[in-house]
Structure 1
Amino acid sequence: MSSTRETMVDPLKTWKFLVWPTITIKPIGSYFFLLKTILASFLVASISLSLYFAFSSQPQWLPSPNCNNPVIISDHQKFTTKNISSQAYERTDLSHIQFGIGGSAKTWNERRRYCELWWRPNVTRGFVWLDEKPPNDEKLPPTSPPYKISQDTSRFKYTSWYGSRSAVRIARIVKESFELGLDNVRWFVMGDDDTVFFLENLVTVLNKYDHNQMYYIGGNSESVEQDVIHSYTMAYGGGGFAISYPLAAELVKVLDGCIDRYASFYGSDQKIQGCMSEIGIPVTKELGFHQVDIRGNPYGLLAAHPLAPLVSLHHLDYIQSIFPGRTQIYSIKKLLSAYEKDPSRALQHSFCYDLKRNWSVSVSWGYTVQLYPSLVTAKKLETAFLTFKSWRSWNDEPFTFNTRPVGQDPCERPVIYFLDRTERVTGDRTLTTYIRYVDGSETECDKPDYAPTLAVQFFHVSSARLNPAIWRMAPRRQCCEVINGGDGEDNLIQVKIRGCKRFESVTPL
């Protein structure tokens, strides 16, 4: 019988790798045992393949569940899962943004001039939220944003002794905006009625972030005293801030309770940030949101803009005109005339040297040029002139960025030029022209070696349109070069702005 058993097993030697190699099979039930072994092997292989394909098809950024860390799916995750397939690969545009602008019926007829500078009828979406119907509302032009009347907020607590109860109403704008239920909204952007938004740059910034996640984006105050009193961890409302739809959905559930819990807080933006702390969402800071918590002349701040897209300007009624001798409305229109030709480049800082004449040139594109009759280090050129005071105390310090004093000696100060016009030339290139500014109240340098500098009356600055995609890369200031250094007309300097070459640095020799 032993030989018979071996004869029966021999045809199956090719399957021995599936069972123990020294196994001896009894004649009774041997086929059933073998069949079970084969089926078990196929079952193990099938399960392994199923698990492999299941996990390999999973998005790599999703955490893999395990026994020690069970996955709990929140309402926000359900929202994200539902929307990500249809929205994740579509870039955000203006149609995805809903604005909520805080205003007052008493000041709206005056303040709406700022809103009308950037609002685009039938393109931008949202409302100005007023405390009551404005006088003569039937005469409001179609260029003005539509308005809504805020709900009554008398039931809420407000105990800030130096503030205004309007902070409660304005804090609830995001909730009332959300409850309107407008379709296809990805971001809620809050601002004041004296805030000017630069829309293309706002869209550029928001496209850096996944709108399916919970984001709270904005900037701090420029004056340290304001940040100390209110918060360093808050997006200031006048400069504007953006809240993604999933975060807004969480915020509206707790906002009314937060308003009462933070009744002692002065501002609406403080109350919003108190809620964000409870939800657990920090502010994501973007340097292009400008609260403009300064007094006096904003020149130094704007002429040394940080390396970031210009997104907003606030408090325009509380500072001197951006362009001297002009109204503020005219000044903003002037700045917008350059911005519209090349949004990403607006106020971007570049500097270079004319080594034939030992001059330094600093360009704040679309706004101003500074010409120094000496070689000045890059560290000094990137530092803002202190032409302004702090917001609350009107002091020379402190600010959240470095400043340098304006020299008392006129021979140490640069010659200043302001934007005259912007034009589109060949292809995607622009040419901006700047004219020398003479302040009649200031004494000019009378040294002979300064005379050639004073003779320069114009700057022509050429550049290619700056691709917004550059803001998704590691930031780097662009380089420039003086084209006609020491040659040609004495009253005109031509400058070209371009991307920096490999290993290129701004080094005075």
Structure 2
Amino acid sequence: MSSTRETMLDPFKTWKFLVSTITIKPIDVLVFLLKTTLAIFIVASISLFFYFAFSVQPRWLSSPICNNSQQKFIAKNSSSSQAYGRTNLSHIQFGIGGSAKTWNQRRRFCELWWRPNVCRGFVWLDEKPPNGENLPPTSPPYKISEDTSRFKYTSWYGSRSAVRMARIVKESFELGLDNVRWFVMGDDDTLFFLENLLTVLNKYDHNQMYYIGGNSESVEQDVIHSYNMAYGGGGFAISYPLAAELVKVLDGCIDRYASFYGSDQKVQGCMSEIGVPATKELGFHQLDIRGDPYGLLSAHPLAPLVSLHHLDYVQPVFPGMTRIGSLKKLITAYEKDPSRALQHSFCYDFKRNWSISVSWGYNVQLYPSLVTAKKLETAFSTFQSWRTWSSGPFTFNTRPVEKDPCERPVMYFLGSAERVNGDTTLTTYVRNVEESAKECDKPDYSRAVAVQFFNVSSARLNPAIWRTAPRRQCCEVINSGEGVDSLRVEVKIRACHRFESVTPP
């Protein structure tokens, strides 16, 4: 025992002991070498596989999965907007649904926004319109839709024209115009705001399958038709790759959804089959309302104004004016600062205890009291629902117009809009004289009524703001307090400061 312990304590003796006691057979050495060689081969093979898989990157790993039509489009029309420039009007093909019987009346809406020799596309009619050869150059060109009598249509309360309208995107696609990124559908009474339409479309990759638009404002319409649908009157945009898919199944969808009322509903049925949901943008306005749009326009959502529809079915947007005259006035302000059109801002004049709400380019509301931000951002219910002419519900919150005139704001509507000092705009708002018979006789209200004008200044709103997290801009009263011009209030709209909020004391 002691000799063994002594051997283990001496390293040299330990080595001699092990050599003398261990016998290695040749066959064991051979087996060991074979196992080692096999293990090295397996490890090397796995390493080579991962090297080629992730370094060389075959097509199925490096490219998005796309079908033949998408691959052809990408090869023909190029890839992303980052590589090939931002989308402009030349990349849009418009498909406007109309009727020969109403075109001479409805084209006045299209002529407000259509830009000859710049916009591309057509109004699609059921037949040649009266005096079709003598239409003014400001009017969009027209085409006659194909015969659709072979298709089914079983909606008992609708019109077969829905079938023809649904096929506009297919007939537009089949024209084969070059360099089209988006197909934009609308009605002949849809008013598009083109710069803002481009702002919205440039948020999205036109090489992906996108279906962009908005819902109806009236819940009853969304329940009857669909919450998942982009409504055609407000307009919707379909990217080229999605259009390529849609045209393959559209005719079958029209028959499968023969009971659907509208063309946009049939198109959405196809989208359901393709598996592409509607991407909602709040600036597309179906305007499924009746009555006075004042309440809605005064509390526009925080989104660029893209479209307005059903303009023949609501009162003129400015009181005391014709429909077309009032729309021209709205467009005049819009052109000075497209991104800011109808954008909502509000602030307080604490020295006079006033609340001021501005819908840029449209109106100002002056409250002779401090009103909470939650109340100021909520639309007045100056309109009814589309189908039943009821007080709602709508897809946004509303508040009733107070019966007591002392609880209502003093209203001012756009008088003029101009560009001053480069990128600064100045809009002037004039008191609505039609409200004079409804004045309140309280002293506080009388001081507010004495104000005849609002001057609102603001820097031009950069469209890039719509690609950032949304935040309503702030405003401030410049000539606040006593001893100032009691007939005119000066307001400045600007970006909010850090930690700034609209909070009454």
* Shared fold (TM-score, shorter chain, > 0.5): yes
| Residue in structure 2 matched with residue 228 of structure 1 by the alignment | 223
In the alignment, structure 1 residue 456 sits paired with structure 2 residue 458: no
Distance between the aligned counterparts of 1:400 and 1:134, measured in 2?
A: 37
3-state SS in 2 of match to 1:170: helix
CA contact (8 A) 1:307 1:475 kept: yes
Unaligned runs of 5+ in 1: 1-23, 25-35, 63-71
| Residue in structure 2 matched with residue 435 of structure 1 by the alignment | 430
Distance between the aligned counterparts of 1:460 and 1:236, measured in 2?
A: 37
| Residue in structure 1 matched with residue 164 of structure 2 by the alignment | 169
| Residue in structure 1 matched with residue 97 of structure 2 by the alignment | 102
- Cα deviation for residue 382 of structure 1 reads 0.2
Residue of structure 1 aligned with 2:496, choices 480, 493, 500: 500
| Residue in structure 2 matched with residue 3 of structure 1 by the alignment | none
Distance between the aligned counterparts of 1:460 and 1:151, measured in 2?
A: 53
In the alignment, structure 1 residue 210 sits paired with structure 2 residue 205: yes
3-state SS in 2 of match to 1:110: helix
Distance between the aligned counterparts of 1:454 and 1:304, measured in 2?
A: 22
| Residue in structure 1 matched with residue 265 of structure 2 by the alignment | 270
User: Residues 364-403 of structure 1 correspond to what in structure 2 (within 5 A)?
Assistant: 364-403=359-398
| Paired AA for residue 202 in structure 1 | L
Q: Bigger shift: 228-237 or 362-371? A: 228-237
3-state SS in 1 of match to 2:249: helix
In the alignment, structure 1 residue 423 sits paired with structure 2 residue 418: yes
Judged with a 3 Å threshold, the aligned counterparts in structure 2 of structure 1 residues 442 and 232 are, in CA distance, closer, same or farther, namely farther
User: Residues 151-300 of structure 1 correspond to what in structure 2 (within 5 A)?
Assistant: 151-300=146-295
| Residue in structure 1 matched with residue 71 of structure 2 by the alignment | 78
| Residue in structure 2 matched with residue 88 of structure 1 by the alignment | 81
- Cα deviation for residue 486 of structure 1 reads 1.4
CA contact (8 A) 1:84 1:212 kept: no
Distance between the aligned counterparts of 1:38 and 1:399, measured in 2?
A: 70
Judged with a 3 Å threshold, the aligned counterparts in structure 2 of structure 1 residues 40 and 391 are, in CA distance, closer, same or farther, namely closer
Distance between the aligned counterparts of 1:104 and 1:195, measured in 2?
A: 14
Judged with a 3 Å threshold, the aligned counterparts in structure 2 of structure 1 residues 53 and 454 are, in CA distance, closer, same or farther, namely same
CA contact (8 A) 2:81 2:87 kept: no
How many correspondences in the alignment?
477
| Residue in structure 2 matched with residue 360 of structure 1 by the alignment | 355
Distance between the aligned counterparts of 1:73 and 1:259, measured in 2?
A: 25
Residue of structure 1 aligned with 2:55, choices 48, 53, 56: 53
| Residue in structure 2 matched with residue 489 of structure 1 by the alignment | 485
Distance between the aligned counterparts of 1:258 and 1:40, measured in 2?
A: 54
CA contact (8 A) 2:80 2:205 kept: no
In the alignment, structure 1 residue 321 sits paired with structure 2 residue 323: no
Distance between the aligned counterparts of 2:207 and 2:385, measured in 1?
A: 38
Judged with a 3 Å threshold, the aligned counterparts in structure 2 of structure 1 residues 59 and 411 are, in CA distance, closer, same or farther, namely farther
Distance between the aligned counterparts of 2:149 and 2:58, measured in 1?
A: 56
| Residue in structure 2 matched with residue 131 of structure 1 by the alignment | 126
Residue of structure 1 aligned with 2:405, choices 399, 407, 410: 410
- Cα deviation for residue 78 of structure 1 reads 2.3
3-state SS in 1 of match to 2:434: coil
- Cα deviation for residue 138 of structure 1 reads 1.7
| Residue in structure 2 matched with residue 4 of structure 1 by the alignment | none
Distance between the aligned counterparts of 1:506 and 1:370, measured in 2?
A: 16
Q: TM-score, normalised by structure 1?
A: 0.88
- Cα deviation for residue 94 of structure 1 reads 0.7
| Paired AA for residue 301 in structure 1 | L
Unaligned runs of 5+ in 2: 1-25, 27-37
Distance between the aligned counterparts of 1:498 and 1:455, measured in 2?
A: 26
3-state SS in 1 of match to 2:438: coil
CA contact (8 A) 1:435 1:457 kept: yes
| Residue in structure 1 matched with residue 336 of structure 2 by the alignment | 341
3-state SS in 1 of match to 2:336: coil
| Residue in structure 1 matched with residue 13 of structure 2 by the alignment | none
CA contact (8 A) 2:95 2:186 kept: yes
| Paired AA for residue 408 in structure 2 | R
**1:279-316 deviation per Cα after TM superposition (whole angstroms, max 9, x unaligned):** 11111111000011100100000000000000000000
Sequence identity (%): 77
- Cα deviation for residue 84 of structure 1 reads 8.1
CA contact (8 A) 1:79 1:246 kept: no
CA contact (8 A) 1:83 1:212 kept: no
Distance between the aligned counterparts of 1:417 and 1:389, measured in 2?
A: 23
| Paired AA for residue 328 in structure 1 | R
CA contact (8 A) 1:100 1:127 kept: yes
- Cα deviation for residue 53 of structure 1 reads 3.1
| Paired AA for residue 498 in structure 1 | R
- Cα deviation for residue 185 of structure 1 reads 0.4
Q: What is the Cα-based RMSD across aligned positions, in Å?
A: 2.8
- Cα deviation for residue 82 of structure 1 reads 3.0
CA contact (8 A) 1:351 1:363 kept: yes
Distance between the aligned counterparts of 2:292 and 2:109, measured in 1?
A: 19
| Paired AA for residue 75 in structure 2 | K
**1:128-152 deviation per Cα after TM superposition (whole angstroms, max 9, x unaligned):** 0000000111221000000000000
In the alignment, structure 1 residue 143 sits paired with structure 2 residue 138: yes
| Residue in structure 2 matched with residue 350 of structure 1 by the alignment | 345
Distance between the aligned counterparts of 2:62 and 2:370, measured in 1?
A: 52
CA contact (8 A) 2:70 2:244 kept: no
- Cα deviation for residue 74 of structure 1 reads 2.5
3-state SS in 2 of match to 1:307: coil
Distance between the aligned counterparts of 1:378 and 1:402, measured in 2?
A: 14
3-state SS in 1 of match to 2:117: coil
- Cα deviation for residue 45 of structure 1 reads 7.6
CA contact (8 A) 1:80 1:213 kept: no
Judged with a 3 Å threshold, the aligned counterparts in structure 2 of structure 1 residues 289 and 367 are, in CA distance, closer, same or farther, namely same
The higher radius of gyration belongs to: 2
- Cα deviation for residue 439 of structure 1 reads 1.6
- Cα deviation for residue 371 of structure 1 reads 0.3
Distance between the aligned counterparts of 1:455 and 1:372, measured in 2?
A: 13
Q: TM-score, normalised by structure 2?
A: 0.89
CA contact (8 A) 1:222 1:401 kept: yes
3-state SS in 2 of match to 1:347: coil
| Paired AA for residue 217 in structure 2 | E
Distance between the aligned counterparts of 1:432 and 1:293, measured in 2?
A: 29
Judged with a 3 Å threshold, the aligned counterparts in structure 2 of structure 1 residues 441 and 226 are, in CA distance, closer, same or farther, namely farther
| Residue in structure 2 matched with residue 13 of structure 1 by the alignment | none
| Residue in structure 2 matched with residue 20 of structure 1 by the alignment | none
| Paired AA for residue 490 in structure 1 | S
- Cα deviation for residue 79 of structure 1 reads 4.1
In the alignment, structure 1 residue 310 sits paired with structure 2 residue 310: no
